[in-house]
């Protein structure tokens, strides 16, 4: 159908205007034609689903040898934007003898107007006529749709003679994808869009933030504990976020985005318990944490709210908050708590795979073990221009009283350098090294090609609890290569030492 835009002229009344039938009909046409344009642009072509009975076609038992089809009430839009109103159910008689079998026939509906409400003037026949135009429809069963912009298919039937000859009945559809012969087929019925309740900008913003938070927790959690449910939750949250941001959602759609999140919340908590039972030797007691019980309670509350959901803003608010509670406690179960500058110094346990430093999430990408020849060689670890280099196995305490064993290299003057591995250039990078501060209170210059030198301060002296974790941060863009060389310089006569080194990046 060729697109065209008529010139709209709205009526303008003024004193002395002579108004007759032509003028008033033009006023009506103005409103009707605008309605057609809006319908065509914003609703499209086909049945309006979910309104009244959606023009559903059902086969009725034959009466007196007749095959009848019952067309339920509903509304549709044709290609011109005209609304097709079927006010009451109607019965169509299907006569297979009218068609050359086998044949596919179509149950159709199209727009029709009838003049209605006749006003009779016996005294002056020139002043009489129809007062209304009834907007109605014509239903039919046809062998071919000749005007696809006007005729809307409600169903089709593949008519095939039965073994005894003729067709005794038409069956209702029990298999949408493969209805079979002499059965109503709804596969090719078009549907127009129906406007739904919108999502407020505030709810939309909260929803995007929640999905992004879910995505982050799932990704971080999977790095710590590689459960398939965590990966599935990540994928589901990413997909939902894309739908919300790119395609948009109605208020009615929100519950369908959240329901899969509940399914994965339930699966994750179940799999954590299973993993713990199957790996008792690893000593990971996730379910003993208070956060696990809180997360499980929030998850069951989420499930109950979804089951009793009443399509209200109040309920969707509580549902989203319940899911967030699951995520917040899942984060506490699997991911290291947020650490500050001072916290890093005193981490005596095994460095976590994921480190929450401030509000930023760093992932462990490399470790240098100075007691491993393979690790030293792969990182091209070197002591340059130094005197009295030594290597020793030490066991010192952290301030929390934990005794930790490590291999330590010591030197006087010069510098220590090594190659960074497994990094991505341009990413924010955190370099942490374990250091013995028995002889502290000095500074080390940290340098990398094409990057301004940084200072690593070895503050304080502790002769009893000697381990500290010292760090430098390279901001985004400072790492220029995927295999950069980093150097720790102490000067000509200074003393320095290093234990294990950890490299974290924001990924």
**For residue range 367-415, what is the model confidence (pLDDT) as tens digits?**
999 999 999 999 999 999 999 999 999 999 999 899 999 999 999 999 9
22/403: higher pLDDT: 403
Q: Please give the share of the chain, as a percent, with pLDDT higher than 70.
A: 97
pLDDT of res. 63: 64
DSSP string, 105-152: EEEEEEEEEEEEEEE--SS-GGG-EEEEEEEEEEEEEESS-S-TTT-E
pLDDT of res. 62: 66
Alpha carbon distances (Å) from 18 to 11, 24, 100, 129, 477: 13, 11, 59, 20, 77
pLDDT of res. 384: 94
Nearest alpha-carbon partner for 370 in 433, 412, 431: 433
Look at the pTM and tell me if it is higher than 0.85: no
285/54: higher pLDDT: 54
pLDDT of res. 186: 94
Nearest alpha-carbon partner for 24 in 102, 125, 132: 132
23/466: higher pLDDT: 466
pLDDT of res. 503: 95
The answer to whether 184 and 197 have CB atoms below 8 angstroms apart is no
pLDDT of res. 90: 93
pLDDT of res. 133: 84
Question: Which single residue is written with the structure tokens 């044949």?
Answer: 103
Distant-in-sequence, close-in-space partners of 309: CB < 8 Å, separation ≥ 6: 255, 315, 316, 319
pLDDT of res. 472: 94
Q: What is the Cα–Cα distance from 230 to 217, expressed in whole angstroms?
A: 9
507/325: higher pLDDT: 325
- Which range has the worst mean pLDDT, 3-12, 141-150, 449-458? 3-12
Is residue 53 scored above 70 in pLDDT?
yes
- Which range has the worst mean pLDDT, 107-111, 288-292, 300-304? 288-292
Q: What is the Cα–Cα distance from 62 to 80, expressed in whole angstroms?
A: 36
Is residue 498 scored above 90 in pLDDT?
yes
Mean pLDDT of the chain: 89
Q: What is the Cα–Cα distance from 390 to 412, expressed in whole angstroms?
A: 10
Q: What is the Cα–Cα distance from 326 to 164, expressed in whole angstroms?
A: 64
Is residue 288 scored above 90 in pLDDT?
no
- Which range has the worst mean pLDDT, 110-119, 228-237, 274-283? 274-283
Burial classification of residue 201, based on how many CB atoms lie within 10 Å of its CB (0-12 exposed, 13-18 middle, 19 or more buried):
exposed
247/203: higher pLDDT: 203
Is residue 86 scored above 90 in pLDDT?
yes
pLDDT of res. 34: 87
pLDDT of res. 1: 62
Question: Which single residue is written with the structure tokens 């002579």?
Answer: 18
The stretch 266-288 carries a mean pLDDT of 83
Measured N-to-C along each axis, helices 201-224 and 228-242 cross at an angle, to the nearest 10 degrees, of 160
The full set of domains in the chain, from first to last, is 1-42 (no CATH), 44-192 (no CATH), 201-334 (no CATH), 341-505 (2.60.120.260)
**Quick one: pLDDT band at residue 50, thresholds 50, 70, 90?**
confident
SS3 404: strand
**Quick one: pLDDT band at residue 235, thresholds 50, 70, 90?**
very high
150/353: higher pLDDT: 150
Alpha carbon distances (Å) from 227 to 94, 121, 203, 269, 317: 58, 84, 31, 10, 29
SS3 383: strand
Q: What is the Cα–Cα distance from 218 to 235, expressed in whole angstroms?
A: 9
- Indicate the helix (H) or strand (E) that contains 329: helix 313-334
pLDDT of res. 265: 95
In tens, the pLDDT along 25-47 reads 888 888 888 888 888 888 888 99
Is residue 137 scored above 80 in pLDDT?
yes
Distant-in-sequence, close-in-space partners of 367: CB < 8 Å, separation ≥ 6: 351, 375, 500, 501, 502, 503
pLDDT of res. 236: 94
Question: Which single residue is written with the structure tokens 């799999």?
Answer: 271
The stretch 143-167 carries a mean pLDDT of 88
**Quick one: pLDDT band at residue 167, thresholds 50, 70, 90?**
confident
The answer to whether 222 and 230 have CB atoms below 8 angstroms apart is yes
The answer to whether 183 and 171 have CB atoms below 8 angstroms apart is yes
How does strand 90-94 pair with strand 152-159?
A: unpaired
């Amino acid at each position: 159908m060729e697109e065209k835009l008529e010139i709209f002229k709205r009526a303008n009344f003024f004193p002395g205007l002579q108004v007759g039938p032509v003028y008033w009909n033009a006023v009506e046409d103005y409103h009707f034609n605008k309605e057609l344009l809006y319908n065509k642009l914003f609703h499209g072509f086909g049945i309006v689903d979910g309104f009244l009975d959606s023009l559903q076609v059902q086969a009725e038992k034959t009466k007196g040898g007749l095959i009848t089809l019952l067309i339920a009430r509903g509304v549709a839009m044709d290609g011109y934007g005209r609304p097709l109103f079927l006010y009451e159910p109607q019965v169509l008689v299907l006569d297979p003898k009218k068609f050359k079998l086998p044949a596919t026939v179509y149950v159709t509906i199209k727009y029709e107007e009838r003049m209605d409400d006749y006003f009779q003037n016996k005294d002056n026949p020139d002043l009489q006529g129809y007062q209304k135009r009834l907007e109605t429809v014509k239903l039919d069963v046809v062998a071919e749709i000749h005007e696809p912009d006007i005729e809307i298919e409600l169903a089709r039937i593949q008519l095939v003679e039965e073994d005894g000859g003729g067709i005794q009945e038409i069956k209702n559809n029990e298999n949408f994808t493969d209805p079979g012969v002499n059965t109503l087929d709804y596969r090719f019925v078009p549907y127009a869009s129906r406007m739904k309740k919108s999502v407020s900008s505030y709810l939309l913003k909260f929803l995007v933030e929640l999905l992004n938070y879910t995505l982050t927790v799932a990704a971080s959690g999977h790095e710590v504990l590689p459960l398939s449910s965590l990966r599935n939750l990540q994928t589901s949250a990413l997909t939902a976020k894309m739908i919300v941001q790119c395609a948009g959602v109605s208020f009615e759609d929100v519950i369908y985005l959240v329901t899969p999140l509940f399914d994965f919340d339930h699966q994750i908590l179940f799999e954590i318990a299973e993993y713990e039972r199957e790996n008792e030797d690893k000593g990971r007691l996730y379910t003993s944490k208070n956060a696990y019980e809180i997360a499980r309670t929030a998850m069951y509350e989420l499930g109950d709210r979804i089951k009793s959901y009443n399509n209200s803003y109040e309920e969707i608010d509580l549902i989203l908050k319940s899911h967030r509670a699951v995520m917040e406690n899942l984060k506490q179960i699997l991911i290291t708590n947020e650490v500050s500058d001072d916290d890093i110094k005193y981490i005596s346990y095994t460095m976590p795979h994921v480190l929450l430093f401030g509000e930023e999430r760093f992932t462990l990408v490399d470790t240098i073990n100075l007691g491993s020849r393979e690790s030293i060689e792969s990182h091209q670890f070197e002591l340059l221009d130094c005197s009295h280099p030594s290597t020793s196995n030490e066991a010192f305490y952290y301030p929390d009283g934990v005794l930790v064993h490590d291999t330590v290299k010591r030197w006087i003057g010069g510098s220590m350098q090594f190659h960074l591995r497994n990094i991505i250039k341009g990413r924010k990078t955190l370099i942490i090294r374990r250091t013995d501060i028995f002889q502290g209170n000095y500074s080390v210059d940290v340098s990398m090609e094409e990057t301004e030198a940084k200072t690593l301060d070895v503050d304080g002296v502790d002769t009893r609890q000697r381990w500290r974790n010292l760090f430098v941060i390279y901001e985004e863009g400072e790492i220029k290569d995927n295999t950069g060389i980093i150097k720790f310089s102490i000067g000509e006569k200074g003393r320095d030492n290093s234990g294990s080194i950890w490299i974290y990046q924001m990924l």
